[in-house]
Amino acid sequence: MTIKPPSAERYPGRRRFLVAAGGVCGALATFAAAPVLAVSRGGRCLSFVHTHTGETLRAAYFQDACYQAQCLTQVDYILRDFRTGDVHRIDPALLDILFELQTMTNHDAPFEVISGYRSPATNAMLHRSSDGVAQHSMHLQGRAIDVRLTGFPTRTLAEYARNLGHGGVGFYARSDFAHVDTGRVRFW
């Protein structure tokens, strides 16, 4: 399934606002993500398959030296809280980390998404049922993702992410996924 944002005709005022806001956020994120961006000055593209919804997206999220607002909106949607349907802005620096990982692995397969954004209700529910879910998770801010890379060893993916030194990295062997976030550097 290809993810498509709502049509502009359906939400004309809201749509214009979101596109404008996304452009501003994208411009600001460019400065915040500068160290990660050194890997590629050209276009950046990622592919996702959501393990819970089956949705897929190929996202050319950075082109012509800037983040692409419409594409970031599509990324926000596919990485939404699949339990509640809540959509939240995903930190573009997180996408840059994934892009850098994909470049390091030389493996152009989709990232299998286990969890992107989490609403407060979902995070609280997961926190109550698991010691592995932080009460103030970076997922709540759109700054974390739990993934594996199709056809690539997840343990190795997590090791590569640790070597980058760009935020938090966790490896969950039993569930076979790596957590990557844009917070302070830490490992588990």
The total number of residues written for the chain in this structure = 188
φ/ψ of residue 29, rounded to 5? -65, -25
133, 86 contact by CB (below 8 A): no
* Distance from C-alpha of 164 to C-alpha of 185, rounded to nearest angstrom: 10
113 occurs within a structural domain: yes
Q: Give the pLDDT band (50/70/90) at residue 129.
A: confident
What's the maximum distance between 2 C-alpha atoms anywhere in the chain?
Answer: 46
Q: Give the pLDDT band (50/70/90) at residue 30.
A: very low
For the chain, the domain total comes to 1
150 occurs within a structural domain: yes
6 occurs within a structural domain: no
4 occurs within a structural domain: no
Per the structure, the complete domain to which residue 76 belongs is given by 12-187
Q: What is the value of pTM for the model shown?
A: 0.77
pLDDT in tens, 71-120: 999 999 999 999 999 999 999 999 999 999 999 999 999 999 999 999 99
76, 18 contact by CB (below 8 A): no
